[in-house]
Amino acid sequence: MADIRPDTMERITDHELAKKFIDEQVEMVKEQVGEKKVLLALSGGVDSSVVAALLLKAIGSQLVCVHVNNGLMRKGEPEMVVKIFKEELHANLIYVDATDRFLDKLEGVADPETKRKIIGNEFIEVFAEEASKLEGIEFLAQGTIYPDITESGGVKAHHNVGGLPEDLQFELVEPVRLLYKDEVRAVGKELGLPDTMVYRQPFPGPGLGVRCTGAITRDRLEALREADAIVREEIGKMEKTPWQYFCVVPDFKSTGVKEGKRYMGWPVIIRAVDTVDAVTAEATELPWDLLKTMRDKIIANVPGVNRVLWDISDKPVSTIEWE
Ligand code: XMP
């Protein structure tokens, strides 16, 4: 199959075109797969979710989805994947809670690139283990999109589902591989996926792992997850939301005071940026009232935190993530 987008291919800009694309792909997938089974690593990101919904429409129960909870997802995300795909769309979904496996492997590891490698490798191991328990799988579906092909030489690098084990001998099914991100979203909307999934802001493959800086501890990771949920909810109310917004809980403490006693607690660092391509980025100017609301909610609701900071750095010189 050609992996170059033909000049004649119409840009999917409305719901008629999305519907036409879906109808065509449903036929093509049916033809490619026949009666065989297809495996998909469903992360809950836009691309893999759209592929899952498309394949469900095409081949229904011949699709087997595996969702690996690595313990580094945002609050409520694994639950949302299960709710939408298993309960509402009745997908054949295998949910693997691998939290302990990931966090045990990460214990004491402070170097960001080593953390990334561990998270990537562990994912491959868990996914391969699940795949080996299944019988009769001949195809592997992937949420590869056009920029993945043009920007990384055909390999889905820098991605949580990237680099699957070479000994998994599957034929690939990549129905959205010629689409740009906005087109994938249009197709997802047409397939009836909820906005929270279709317009999900970018989330790095290593997840909260690179926002709980240094060596991850379970209590600090939980604080991060709670604070992140507050930040996403409050900034999400803005009329125009920033391109990416989240928080970081670093591995140091500062002094606080409660009921007349001094105690040490973590800071929460709020980060919100606008960008076109993530190569350069500008810190978003957040309203002061919004910052104070987040501060109060975080201090009142997140155990172990006694300070809230706002990162106003642009990229360059600061990267978007802290690690
Ligand atoms: P930086 O921090 O390099 O981030 O300015 C640019 C964009 O890339 C995302 N990012 C990652 N995405 N795996 C990913 O899939 C990663 O290891 C990773 N590191 C950074 C980041 O969230 C931002 O959107």
Q: Domains for the chain: give ranges and CATH numbers.
A: 15-198 (3.40.50.620), 211-311 (3.30.300.10)
228, 245, 320, best to mutate for ligand 1 pocket (most atoms within 8 Å of CB)? 320
Can you tell me the mean pLDDT for 255-269?
97
Q: Which long-range contacts (CB under 8 A, 24 or more apart) does 227-231 make?
A: 227/268, 227/298, 227/302, 227/305, 228/74, 228/75, 229/74, 229/75, 229/76, 230/294, 230/297, 230/298, 230/301, 230/302, 231/270, 231/294, 231/298
Q: How sure is the predictor about 219, in pLDDT bands with cuts at 50, 70 and 90?
A: very high
Q: Looking at residue 3, what is its pLDDT?
A: 77
Q: Say if ligand 1 is within 6 A of residue 159 CB.
A: yes
> pTM, whole model, 2 decimals?
0.92
Residue 273 pLDDT exceeds 70: yes
Cβ(321) to ligand 1 under 6 A?
yes
- 272 Cα: distance to centroid of ligand 1 (angstroms): 14
Note the pLDDT of residue 152: 60
CA–centroid distance, residue 202 to ligand 1 (Å): 8
Query: What is the whole-number distance in angstroms between the Cα of residue 321 and the centre of ligand 1?
Result: 6
